[in-house]
Structure 1
Amino acid sequence: MLRPILEAAVDEGIISSSPYRNISKASLRGDEMLYLDRDKLHALADAAGKDSTLILTAGYMRLRWGELRAVRRKRLTLKREVVIEDQLIEPRGHLKPAKLKTNAARRRLPLPDWLCPLLLQQLEDRAPDDFIFVGGGGAPLRDHWVRRHFKKAVHEVGLPGHFRFHDLRHTCAALLISRASASTSSSGGSVTRARAPSSHTGICSRAIRSASPVPSTTFIATDSRPPPPGMRTLCVTPTTQGSSR
């Protein structure tokens, strides 16, 4: 399904080339990849209750599960960035910090202005070394959070039962490419020019370079919906002490 979509995107000038050009059809995986439009993403966040900011951060920042739960307060910088330097893994039920797989995975991501106030709410009474997103009693998030809480929210909003937390990462890439595509169509510019004003420039660039799937009309709408009420707030410095340099 993705091969003809990407080939059509090449024909329209939305992406420069298709990642399938050197891959035989027989070698392609048959797994379905799911994406959410903005309305469904925010509905999922609402269904997650107190964990809504975690869902929005995953859906708009393209972070992996292990990276997201490893982010500490000191990793939010004065430049409205989040620094990704490590991850938490849970082999055989034992939670432990781990290095990222590659040096390229270490990165600084710009935070959207509307997301900063939501993250600030997570930082109340937190020390610089404390995790931003935690479970009960302030403990680090464990893998069972996905099974108990994320899957419950998935069910409540009517998503397929096999929708994974990792699909939020795919959702981010699809939304960004959808926005770039819409901007290109309306302005007549290139994808590179269309993505420049975005606060997600780095993420969008990576998404396009890695040829993340062009959004399917079944799951993705044009990224034109504004942030929910109350989110158009100027970013306050995320940390008041011990900020990362």
Structure 2
Amino acid sequence: MQAKGTPRVSGHVFVMERASGRVYYAKWRDADGQHKRRLGPAWVKPDGKDERGGTRWKAASGTKPPGYLTPRDAQDELTQIKARVAHASAQRQQLGPLFRDAADEWLSHAESVRGIKPSTAVGYRSILEHHLKPEFGARRLGEITRRDIESWRDRQVAVGRRNRVRGRTVKGLSPRNANAVLAAMHGVFKHAVRCEEVTDNPVRDIEPLGTEYDPMRYPVYSPDEVHKLARAAGGQDGAMIVVSAFTGLRRGELIALQWKHIDFGRSTVHVQQSYSKGHLTTPKSKRVRAVPMAPEVAEVLTQLRQRGQLTGPDDLVFLGEGGRYVDGSALRRRYQRAQKAAGLPLHRWHDLRHTFGTLAVDRASERQVQGWMGHADSRTTARYLHHKDRAEDAELLSDAFRVSAPEVVAAAA
């Protein structure tokens, strides 16, 4: 790493009258602010006034006692202090800022310049405060090595493997979460390199851990289970479950849905906004989209519209207290109770969206499903292909593999 230059340190010495006698002090200023230090007893006597009216000092007469300082001694002490401070400052500058300061700067830049969503900022802040700052916060960026990071990550994952309850990591990190934490750390270093605070990003060459994701065991509900769950939830919650499972809308998109986004004539739900952490934003992909409205969805929305109030174009489809937005956390808790009441496997609310993806890909093209779900990357949609019914594909290939002379095959057998 290259130092940006030798930091400038300014200072002076002065004498103060104490009960024990005159004492020399040094005062200096560097990049971290102003500092003051006692140097020792002063062997001085007045030598008139300086241009500001203060006392000018010179060495006292006679033999100087051990440990006492003349004006020249005090100045030499100050010169050594300034040299040490400048050297230490140059080293700190070469190593870059403290990780905690760099992390705060990165997050502030991401919010104010890149315009990340409030929910994304909350996630990043949680990663910084609960994982990265406690371990690396007090260290300078240039002191943190790739080995340090990998060693810490591996320890956290090992703890996570020992502390899994019902498939959930309650202490430490799962491989997937460890990858997310290091992705945030990569962002901190990348921003610091761009700002020329350091020259190296030790996270850049760390390979992500293999995750335990098994596409054949993706947690989804069947259509019958969706209706069973909706009946157990009842009322508006039941309607939200059906709409989520059969349109693929994210929870925040459901909460932000307005009646003007529902086109019964064209059997279409328009996804134009999302609500999360007290903020109304664009959908995750930052693209509006249109989703086909299946008859089951149209039916529950039609019933919901018969509530007799707050059904104007700008009113919310799903109402929270006082006609405001639904509390997402409270909805999740009620959803968990409904799952238990219905005797169904406990899945996340987001798995209702996966339910839509797995059901839709069996009847529509991958490109259609990508558009309906608002995936920016086709690879995300491709995960659902593992659930696609391949019976028609097998029939399609049957002619290609049919032999022209069955008796030859029989003879070979």
Whether TM-score is above 0.5 comes out as: yes
SS in 1 for 2:295: coil
Alignment counterpart, residue 172 of structure 1, candidates 356, 360, 375 = 356
1:49 paired with 2:234, answer yes
Which amino acid letter does the alignment assign opposite residue 294 of structure 2?
A: P
Alignment counterpart, residue 261 of structure 2, candidates 75, 87, 94 = 75
Q: Give the TM-score normalised by the residue count of structure 2.
A: 0.37
Unaligned runs of at least 5 residues, structure 1:
1-23, 181-190, 223-245
| Kept in 1: contact 2:229–2:342 (CA 8 A) | yes
Partner residue, 1:119 = 301
| Kept in 2: contact 1:35–1:215 (CA 8 A) | no
Partner residue, 1:186 = none
Alignment counterpart, residue 212 of structure 1, candidates 380, 383, 392 = 383
Partner residue, 1:19 = none
1:66 paired with 2:252, answer yes
1:130 paired with 2:315, answer yes
| Kept in 2: contact 1:58–1:169 (CA 8 A) | yes
| Structure 1 residues 208 and 60: CA distance shift in structure 2, 3 A | farther
Higher helix share goes to which structure? 2
Alignment counterpart, residue 108 of structure 1, candidates 264, 268, 290 = 290
1:203 paired with 2:372, answer yes
Identical residues among aligned pairs (%): 27
Q: Show CA shifts across 1:140-160 (max 9, x none).
A: 111223333111111112234
**Cα distance in 2 for residues equivalent to 1:201 and 1:213:** 10
Which structure has the higher relative contact order (CA within 8 Å, separation 6+)? 1
| Structure 1 residues 204 and 85: CA distance shift in structure 2, 3 A | closer
1:157 paired with 2:342, answer yes
Q: Show CA shifts across 1:215-236 (max 9, x none).
A: 669xx9x9xxxxxxxxxxxxxx
Aligned length: 175
**Cα distance in 2 for residues equivalent to 1:28 and 1:87:** 29
Partner residue, 1:12 = none
Higher strand share goes to which structure? 2
| Kept in 1: contact 2:248–2:373 (CA 8 A) | no
Q: Give the TM-score normalised by the residue count of structure 1.
A: 0.60
| Kept in 2: contact 1:87–1:98 (CA 8 A) | yes
Partner residue, 2:279 = 96
| Structure 1 residues 128 and 114: CA distance shift in structure 2, 3 A | same
